[in-house]
Amino acid sequence: MLDLKRQYAPIQQELLESLGRVLDRQQFILGGEVEAFEKVAAEQLGVAHALGCSSGTDALWLALAAAGVGLGQTVVTTPFSFFASVSAILRAGATPVLADIDPVTFNLSPEAVAAVLDGPRGASVRAVLPVHLYGQVSGWTAFSRLRQERGVALIEDAAQAWGAEWNGAKAGGLGDIAAFSFYPTKNLSAAGDAGMVTTHSAELAERVKMLRQHGMRRRYYHDELGWNARMDGFQGAVLRVKLKYIGAWNEARRAAAARYREMFAQAGLAEAGTYPVHGVVLPREVPGARHVWHQFVIRAPRRDGLREFLTAHRIGSEIYYPLPLHRQPALESLGYAEGDFPEAERAAREVLALPIFPELREDEQQTVVAAIARFLS
């Protein structure tokens, strides 16, 4: 699925030098390398404030808490995402309310969110948390309209979407506040866990700074309960180097996605529509979006059998995600049941992520497509 050694090799010396600076300065928690990364990251995203933290999960909690989400409030989000999208809401003390996904993009459906806001739970909704799944921004024009008309805060889960855009504006600067992950598999990746919160608001940024350091604005004076959610110096150093290359890496991902589409079409496997019948349904970049292809996710009939076939032929694949959040045992208390979100449930049965990363070779992609063709034949 991913070969990080190919990314590491050409920038090895730069990374070692940056890690050496941290050792020389002994700034292991936050410090100069993190601050330098934050400054360049904010410039690259076009936001006023970018604040490093310990993980993408902590970034989500920090964003929610800074935005004032808490007890007695609800947050609308998707049932088709990584667990942290919902667990962070619970950790903030609020109640997650789920709405179904768009079957083309797999992202949270603005129409489904509007239905929630019009329903009996609408009055308690403080925020909407769309997830830019697989590297494509959710339908932001419609979400912006909901913010204007309904007065809800918009909190971006941009964990998978560094560099993605909507009508020319970067993910991370579209909503009131946003959260990124730099987990090692992400487009922009640390050498361990790390995350970031971005916002245009000086007030929200100040709260994030305070909350990520145990609620301190002054050392040992705690204004409220925060958390230990600081980025360490080594991760800041690694990310500062990689930030110089992320634009080119994302373009390489876009080129690989285009090659996949051509190869599937040439093999006669690319179906139109939403759901697979004989071939596979390919992911699409929708109008307004600039996809960064964190994942290349197809819909496939007999998905589980196809994955077993690919594994037997030493071809990586992954299922993001095999069980929707409303069916997770840990979230039974939310009160949802099978059938409540049919699009999310169908996606969980059909999606399969294929290898995609900047250094992926054309011959490797041909091997992937040829194997899928053999299985489907």
Q: Hey, where are the domains in the chain?
A: 4-242, 247-376
Q: Nearest to residue 128, comparing CAs of 96, 92, 169?
A: 96
CATH code for the domain defined by 4-242? 3.40.640.10
Identical fold at 4-242 and 247-376? no
Sorted by sequence, the CB contacts under 8 Å of residue 94 that are 6+ apart come out as 64, 69, 70, 71, 72, 73, 74, 75, 126
Tens-digit pLDDT profile for residues 24-63: 999 999 999 999 999 999 999 999 999 999 999 999 999 9
Contact 162, 171 (CB under 8 A): yes
In CATH terms, is domain 247-376 a member of 3.40.50.300?
no
Confidence of residue 356 (pLDDT cuts 50, 70, 90): very high
Tens-digit pLDDT profile for residues 118-141: 999 889 999 999 999 999 999 999
pTM > 0.85: yes or no: yes
- Which residue is it, tokens 């995609």? 356
Q: Alpha-carbon distance 111 to 247, whole Å?
A: 32
Q: Alpha-carbon distance 88 to 195, whole Å?
A: 14
**Max Cα distance, the chain (Å):** 67
Which tokens belong to 258? 């285009």
The DSSP bridge pattern shows strands 74-77 and 125-129 to be parallel
What distances in angstroms separate CA 131 from CA 63, 68, 149, 358, one per listed residue?
Answer: 13, 19, 21, 23
Contact 324, 79 (CB under 8 A): yes
Task: Quote the pLDDT of residue 119.
Answer: 94
Asked if residue 301 has pLDDT above 90, the reply is no
Tens-digit pLDDT profile for residues 185-209: 999 999 999 999 999 999 999 999 9
Give one DSSP letter per residue of 244-312, joined into a string: TTHHHHHHHHHHHHHHHHHHHHHTT-EESSSS-SSSEEPP-PPTTEE---S-EEEE-TTHHHHHHHHHH
Cβ–Cβ contacts within 10 Å for residue 335, how many?
A: 8
Sorted by sequence, the CB contacts under 8 Å of residue 245 that are 6+ apart come out as 11
Contact 76, 113 (CB under 8 A): yes
Q: Alpha-carbon distance 290 to 300, whole Å?
A: 24
Task: Quote the pLDDT of residue 272.
Answer: 82
Burial code (b: 16+ CB inside 10 Å, e: under 16) for 204-230 equals bbebbbbbbbbebeeeeeeeeebbebb
Tens-digit pLDDT profile for residues 251-297: 999 999 999 999 999 999 988 888 998 889 999 999 999 999 999 99
